[in-house]
Chains A and B, each alone.
Chain A
Amino acid sequence: METRLFALQRFSAMLLGPLVVVHLGLILYAVRGGLTASEILGRTQDSIGWGLFYGLFVLAVSVHAPIGVRNVLKEWTAWRGRSLDLAMLLLAAALLLLGLRALWAVVV
Chain B
Amino acid sequence: MARIESRSLRVSIWRGKTQGRFVDYEVPARDNQTVLDVVTWVQRHREPSLAYRFACRVGVCGSCAMTVNGRPRWTCRTHVGKVAGNGRLIVEPLRNLPRIKDLACDMTPFFEKWQRAGGRFKGNAGRGDPIPRLDPSSAQRREADAGIECINCAVCYSACDTVAWNPEYLGPAALNRVWTLVNDVRHQEQDRIFEAVGKQGGCHECHTHGSCVEYCPVELNPTASIAGLKRRSLSRLFAGGSS
A residues bordering B, Cβ < 8 Å?
Answer: 1-7, 71, 74-76, 80
Q: B69: CB under 8 A from chain A?
A: no
Per the bound structure, the CA–CA distance linking A6 and B231 in Å amounts to 11
Per the bound structure, the CA–CA distance linking A75 and B230 in Å amounts to 19
List 6 contacting pairs A-B, 8 Å CB cutoff, sorted by A: A3-B198, A3-B233, A3-B234, A6-B234, A71-B205, A75-B165
Q: Could you tell me if A7 and B234 are in contact, using CB atoms closer than 8 angstroms?
A: yes
SS of B interface (majority)? helix
Q: Which residues of A contact B234 (CB under 8 A)?
A: 3, 6-7
Per the bound structure, the CA–CA distance linking A76 and B164 in Å amounts to 10
Q: Which residues of B contact A4 (CB under 8 A)?
A: 237, 243
B residues bordering A, Cβ < 8 Å?
Answer: 162, 165-166, 194, 198-200, 202, 204-205, 230, 233-234, 237, 243
Per the bound structure, the CA–CA distance linking A76 and B165 in Å amounts to 7
Q: Which residues of A contact B194 (CB under 8 A)?
A: 3
Q: How many A-B residue pairs have CB under 8 A?
A: 35
CB < 8 Å: which of A2, A7, A74, A80 contacts B199? A2
Per the bound structure, the CA–CA distance linking A75 and B199 in Å amounts to 15
- A3-B234, A4-B237, A6-B233 known; 17 new pairs, CB 8 Å cut-off, are A1-B198, A1-B199, A2-B198, A2-B200, A2-B202, A2-B243, A3-B243, A4-B243, A5-B204, A6-B204, A6-B234, A7-B234, A7-B237, A74-B200, A75-B162, A75-B165, A80-B200
Q: Could you tell me if A74 and B166 are in contact, using CB atoms closer than 8 angstroms?
A: yes
Q: Which residues of B contact A1 (CB under 8 A)?
A: 198-199, 243
Q: Which residues of A contact B200 (CB under 8 A)?
A: 2, 74, 80
